[in-house]
Structure 1
Amino acid sequence: MTDVVEISPQSWEYRLVAAVVYAVEQRAGGRGGPRTRWNGRVLEETDPENLGSAHADGSISVSVANVLDQLRKARDLDRPLTDDEAWLLRDAMDTLTHEAAHLMAPGGDMTAPEAYPYDDAAAASDEGRVEQWTKRNLDNIISDVFTDAGLDKVEAAVLAQPGLDAYAAFTPAARLLDRALAERSGLTSAQVTQKLLCADDAQRWNVAVDLVIDEHLAEPGLMPESHRAEVRKQLVAPLRESLSVLAAVEGDESLGSDQKAEEGTKAAQNAIAGLDSALNRIERKYRIDNAQRARQQAQRPASRVNQAVRRAQGNLPPDLKRLRALTAPQAPASGATRRPVEATDHAPVEQGEGSRPRGQQATRPTGGPRQPHSPQRD
C-alpha cells in the first residue's frame, strides 16, 4: 500500500490549491450559497495515470509532477511561455478546478430513501457535468487566482490556449441533457448545471427530474404530492438507462474524440426522448383522471345536493336556528283561506241582457213610495 503524502499547508502549492477551491466555491455556490466539502487536505496523487482526484472524505489529491511543478516553474520563469508550456498550464488549472468542483456536491447517503448508486450512468452524468462547468468557468478561475499566486505575467498566454475535454463522450452528453432539462423547467442551462453540480450524489437524479415535475405536474390538483417518489422513478429510469452505455465508450481507446462525442450526443438524445415519453404519459393520465372526476362531480344527482344542504341546515348553531325560526314566514291557520287585499265576498255575476258591464257604476233609485204596477189586460 502506497503511503499518503500530504502537501504542507505552509507551501505555495497548498495556497494555490486552496485559492482555486475558494474561487470555485464562489463561482458555483455564490455568496451565501453552497460550500465545498473540502476538508483542507491536499495530497500527492499516487496513481501515475491520474492528474488529480476528489475523495469521499473531502480531500484532494494532485499530481506533483504534472500539475503543481508545472505551475511553480511558470511562476519562476523569466521568459515568455511557449504555446506548449501555456497549454500545459491551462491543463493543470483545469485539473485543479475540476477536482474542486467535484467537492461542491455533498457526500451522498446511499442508504437514504430514493438514493441511487454511483454507477456508470451516474459517473457519466457527474463527470460530464463537472467538466462542462469547468470549461465554462475556467477562464474566470484563472483570473481569480493568478495574480495573488504570482502568475499574472503568464495569464494572458494561458487564457489564449484552447481547452480540451477530458471526457469526450461524457461532456457533450451532460451538456445536451442539462440544456433539455432547462427547456423543460423554465431555467437556463447554466442554472440547471449549477443546481446539479451542488446536488447530493445519491439524490442527483431526483433533483434533475424534480425540475421537470415542478414545472409540468405540480400545479394544484394535478399530481398528488404523495405520488412524487413513484413519478421520479419513472422519469429517472430512461435517463440512467441511456447514459449507462457511455462508460464503455469513454474507455474505448479505439475511438477518437469525435466518435466519442457523437456517441455521447446520441445517448443524451435517447435519454431526453425517454424522459419526454414518460412525462407525456404521466401528465396525460393525470389530466384525463382529473377531467373525469370533475365531470362526475358536475353530474351528481340533485337529491344528493339537497341532502347535503339539509344536513348543513340541521347542523346550525342553536342561536342561528332561533333566529331562522323568528324570521321565517308564518303559515296560515288551518282551514283559513288566503285572499288578496280588497277582494269581495261576492261571486262574479254573469253578464246577460240588461246587466252592467263589470266596473260600471250602478244608479240607485231615489227614495219614496213605489207605484204599484197595474195588471195589464189583454
Structure 2
Amino acid sequence: MTAYVERGPKIPPGTWEFDWVSSVVAEVAAYAERPSHWNGELYEQTGPAAGRYHRDGGLTISRAHVLEPARPAYTSGHSLTSDEAFAAAGATQLMVFQARLSLSEFGDDGEPGATALSSLEDQVLELAFAERFTQRYAGWVAEKLTDQALPMHSGAPAYPAYTTATEQFLRPLSATTGIAPGQLRDLVERTERTQRFAVIADRVLDHHLGGLVPDAHRSELRQYLSAPLRRRLRDLATDEHRRLVEPGWELIWGSQSAEFDGNLHAVTTHYTSWSAAHPGEQPPALPNRVLAREEDDQRGEWSSGTRDLGTAELQKFLGSYTGASPHTRRRDGIHPDNVVRFRSPEVE
C-alpha cells in the first residue's frame, strides 16, 4: 500500500483540527447547495500528499501541509505575518479542494456501462470540477471562518490539462443534449461519478429521439454512446497535457468527436426510420453487428498492450486520487449529520 493511501493517527472530534475541517466541509456544502458524504472519520494524511477523500467516506488531511499552516489564521487574537497569511491561504485552498471532493458520490463501477473509478476520464472530470469550485469559493469560505485577510489569489490551476479538457469536452455537448452549458455541467457534476457519461448519453437520446427509444433498449444505447465520450475526454486530456509539456504538439480533438457523431447517427437513423415505416409499432434493438463494434473497442481500449503512453503519463499525476479501495457507500443513501460549526480557539 502506498503512502498516499495509508491513514495516520485518527483526529478525534472536539479538537481544533476536527472542528476546522468539519467547518470547512459545512461551508463548502452550503455554497455548493449539495450535501457532503464525509462520514465524520478524520485521520492524518501520511506522506507528501495534502489529503485524500476516501471511497468509504473518510478524510485524511496532512498536518504538515494543511492543518498546521492553516491554524494561525483561524486562531482568535493572533496577528498574522505575511508568510503565515500566504501559508494559511494555500492550506485553506487545499482543504476546500478535499471538501469539494466529498460532495460527489462514487457510485458502483461494477454496474454494466459504468465508468471505472480508476479510469482517467473519471479523474479528469472530478479533479476539474473540484479545481473550478476551489478557485471560485475558497476565498468566500475563508471569509466566513476568519476575520483575517488571506491572499486567496486564484493563480494558475493545479490541473490545467484537466480543466481545459473538461471545458472542451462539455461545451459542444450542450447543443447535442439540448441544454445550456452551465446546466449540463451542473447535471454531470451532481451525478454519481460512475454514471456521468451515462447521464449524458440519456440526455442525448431524449433530445434527439424523445419517446422513440423503448426503456428496454436504454442500457445498451447508453454504453454505445458513452464509450466514445469517455475516449474523447481521455484524448482531450492527453492532447492538452502534451500541448503544455511538448512545444509544437498538435491537438487531435476532432477524431473522437467524429466517432461519437457516427454512433449517434446510427442510433437516430435506426429509430427514426423504423418509426416512419412502422408508426406505433415497437422498434427492434440496434443490430448486434453495430453494437459489437463498440464492445470490441471497449475490450481493447485499456489493455496493457494498446494503452496510450500519454494516458499512462497523465495518470502518474493523479497521485493521492488513484488508490483502489472498497465501495462502502450506505445502501439507504443516508449520511450522518456530522458537520459542526467552527469555533476559533483563543491563543494559548
TM value normalised by structure 1: 0.63
Partner of 1:110: 109
Question: 1:133 touches 1:193 (CA, 8 Å); kept in 2?
Answer: no
Partner of 1:347: none
Distance in 2 between residues matched to 1:259 and 1:231, nearest whole Å: 37
Question: 2:28 touches 2:99 (CA, 8 Å); kept in 1?
Answer: yes
Distance in 1 between residues matched to 2:74 and 2:54, nearest whole Å: 28
Q: How far did residue 45 of structure 1 move?
A: 0.9
- 1:281-332 deviations in Å (ceiling 9; x for gaps): 3223322222222499xxxxxxxxxxxxxxxxxxxxxxxxxxxxxxxxxxxx
Distance in 2 between residues matched to 1:260 and 1:135, nearest whole Å: 26
Compared CA separation, residues 236 and 25, structure 1 to 2 (3 A): same
The reply on whether 1:279 has 2:264 as its aligned counterpart is yes
Compared CA separation, residues 249 and 185, structure 1 to 2 (3 A): closer
Partner of 2:149: 154
Partner of 1:133: 133
The reply on whether 1:41 has 2:41 as its aligned counterpart is yes
TM value normalised by structure 2: 0.67
Compared CA separation, residues 93 and 190, structure 1 to 2 (3 A): farther
SS at match of 1:154: coil
Aligned partner of 2:226 among 223, 236, 253 = 236
Tell me, which stretches of 5 or more residues in structure 2 are unaligned?
Answer: 282-348
Partner of 1:9: 13
Question: 2:101 touches 2:130 (CA, 8 Å); kept in 1?
Answer: yes
Ranked by relative contact order (alpha carbons within 8 Å, sequence separation 6 or more), the top structure is 2
Q: Which amino acid aligns with 2:170?
A: D
- Written as runs of structure 1 = structure 2, the 5 A alignment for 1:140-289 is 140-143=140-143, 145-146=144-145, 151-155=146-150, 157-158=151-152, 161-217=153-209, 219-220=210-211, 222-245=212-235, 258-259=244-245, 266=251, 270-289=255-274
Distance in 1 between residues matched to 2:138 and 2:247, nearest whole Å: 21
Q: CA RMSD in A?
A: 3.3
Distance in 1 between residues matched to 2:131 and 2:247, nearest whole Å: 14
Q: How far did residue 247 of structure 1 move?
A: 7.3
Distance in 1 between residues matched to 2:218 and 2:25, nearest whole Å: 35
Q: Which amino acid aligns with 1:291?
A: A
Compared CA separation, residues 178 and 19, structure 1 to 2 (3 A): farther
Q: Which amino acid aligns with 1:196?
A: V
Q: Which amino acid aligns with 1:78?
A: S
Q: Which amino acid aligns with 1:47?
A: G
Distance in 1 between residues matched to 2:252 and 2:131, nearest whole Å: 17
Q: Which amino acid aligns with 2:27?
A: A
Question: 2:70 touches 2:89 (CA, 8 Å); kept in 1?
Answer: no
Compared CA separation, residues 249 and 294, structure 1 to 2 (3 A): closer
| Identity over aligned pairs, percent | 28
Partner of 2:296: none
Tell me, which stretches of 5 or more residues in structure 1 are unaligned?
Answer: 297-378
SS at match of 2:149: helix
Question: 2:57 touches 2:102 (CA, 8 Å); kept in 1?
Answer: yes
SS at match of 2:218: helix
Q: How far did residue 38 of structure 1 move?
A: 0.5
Distance in 2 between residues matched to 1:215 and 1:241, nearest whole Å: 22
Compared CA separation, residues 131 and 108, structure 1 to 2 (3 A): same
Q: Which amino acid aligns with 2:227?
A: A
Q: Which amino acid aligns with 1:142?
A: A
Partner of 1:355: none
Q: How far did residue 17 of structure 1 move?
A: 1.3
Q: Which amino acid aligns with 1:99?
A: Q
Distance in 1 between residues matched to 2:136 and 2:181, nearest whole Å: 11
Partner of 1:319: none
Compared CA separation, residues 10 and 199, structure 1 to 2 (3 A): same
SS at match of 1:212: helix
- Written as runs of structure 1 = structure 2, the 5 A alignment for 1:22-101 is 22-28=26-32, 30=33, 34-48=34-48, 50-76=49-75, 77-79=78-80, 81=82, 86-101=85-100
Distance in 2 between residues matched to 1:177 and 1:16, nearest whole Å: 36
Distance in 2 between residues matched to 1:260 and 1:133, nearest whole Å: 28
Question: 2:114 touches 2:195 (CA, 8 Å); kept in 1?
Answer: yes
- 1:157-190 deviations in Å (ceiling 9; x for gaps): 32xx133322121111112223333333343333
Larger radius of gyration: 1
Partner of 2:338: none
Compared CA separation, residues 262 and 5, structure 1 to 2 (3 A): farther
